[in-house]
Amino acid sequence: MTMTQQHDDAFLADWAVHSRFGAVPGTNGVDRQAATAADGEQRAWFAQLLEQHGFTVERDAAGNQFGLLELVPGAPYVLTGSHLDSQPTAGRFDGAFGVMASAHACFRVADELRTDPSAARCNLAVVNWFNEEGSRFKPSMMGSSVFTGKMPLETALATTDPNGVTVAAALDALGERGDGGVFGGDTGREVASYAEIHVQQGRSMEEDGVTIGLVNATWAAHKFEFTVTGAQAHSGSTLMSDRRDALLGAARLVVAARELVDEFAPGALHTACGELNVYPNSPVVVASQVQLLLDLRSPSADVIRAAHASLQRTIERVQREDRVEITVTAEHSWDQNPYPESGVELAREVADELGLAHDRVMTVAGHDSTNMKDSVPTVMLFVPSVAGISHSLDEFTEEADLVAGVNHLTGVVRRLAAGALLD
């Protein structure tokens, strides 16, 4: 058996073990939302895996989990990873592949550099970002937002889930909250560069026969949390003309979000309403309040702005016609933004060396690298998703593509550890 085959088999074995945490019976998917018991179990297992390979495990105050290996005292770190938390009843590949691929890429490069330390200019670190998904605690990409200074730590820790449990309490229950930072500040550690690999969550790569996606830019996005307020009333006896139905107003926004798409060229805008919370949610009561999440995504910031303006006109009409009040209680947005061209070129060179089919790909979904690229040189990579299915129990990526992704990321980390992008 060749060394490459041994490496591939080791990854697949650990991947199989990892996929058991939070597994949904009778499916290939998982339910491993941030800071739940299943999340805690896989975090404990992952820490043991890192330690078995000589990495020191630390958590920062936001619950981000790091595996550190110091090869060159005082040198900065190449950081690579993604997230292990999932959506409710979701696929086992989303995020988790990136963390496991990053760990094994670092294990391989660490073994090489221990044999020949002269090749190292940087140390190695693996990260499991906290609450990338934003399903239990909003917003998404929370851990990396705190890490990059885009969200105050205090705001993140005070955020509550639907049952009123704070992030701080949930992390403390698992023993997964550190008492400070792992990088920056008084730690003496700095990040030199960041790399992340992920399943595409779209079908263009599969359709085009591309094995490695060289992510060169993000789509723009604008996410809203609306509160629609009406008046509680009897759903049978109250005259229709007297009703101020918050659920009706929310339903009109759901429909409007879909109809917005048709105001633009095909493929120019994606919209969704992913969550509604209705009060009092009783079969004999006209709803008095609905909380609604709505998001707009596009490769064009101009399209986002135009869609926002159109949505605002709809909101004004619904408020007037249905006699409800619609307020924005939270917003989260980012512009269309390129990844560093130097990182795209580095990834292209590695793909050429390995003979892997590759192409430049934009990311529609947000990732932790969306935050990191604004702070340090960043490389973002994709492997194909079968039929583009994501956030679903039916999510799947072929084993050969997983292995190719680990091998490619290993080549990227090897170059970064040798100083690529450092200057």
Query: What Å distances lie between residue 330 and 226, 227, 288, CA to CA?
Result: 7, 9, 20
Helix, strand, coil content of the chain in percent (nearest 5): 40, 25, 40
> In which band, very low, low, confident or very high, does the pLDDT at 333 lie, cut at 50, 70 and 90?
confident
| Mean pLDDT in residue range 297-303 | 95
User: What whole-number distance in Å separates Cα of residue 181 and Cα of residue 186?
Assistant: 8
pLDDT of residue 32: 97
C-alpha to C-alpha distance for 64 and 182, rounded to whole angstroms: 9
Show the tokens assigned to 136: 């239990």
Q: Which domains does the chain have, with CATH numbers?
A: 3-219+336-417 (3.40.630.10), 220-334 (3.30.70.360)
d(CA 234, CA 243): 9
What pLDDT is recorded for position 8?
A: 95
pLDDT in tens, 201-225: 999 999 999 999 999 999 999 999 9
| Range 276-288 burial, b when 16+ CB lie within 10 A, else e | bebeeeeeebbbb
pLDDT value at 229 more than 90:
yes
What is each CA distance from 53 to 49, 50, 105, 108, 109, in whole angstroms? 7, 5, 12, 10, 11
Contact 321, 257 (CB under 8 A): no
The pLDDT of residue 293: 96
How far apart, in whole angstroms, are the C-alpha atoms of residue 284 and residue 296? 33
Q: If pLDDT is split at 50, 70 and 90, which confidence band does 80 have?
A: very high
CB 403 within 8 A of CB 12: yes
DSSP 290-311: EEEEEEEEES-HHHHHHHHHHH
Whether 186 has a pLDDT exceeding 80, the answer reads: yes
List the structure tokens of 398: 């072929």
State the CB neighbour count (10 A cutoff) for residue 59. 22
Radius of gyration of the chain (CA): 23
pLDDT value, residue 4: 87
Render pLDDT for 343-367 as a digit per residue (tens, 0 to 9).
999 999 999 999 999 999 999 988 9
Tally of CA atoms within 13 A in the half-sphere of 77 that contains its CB: 22
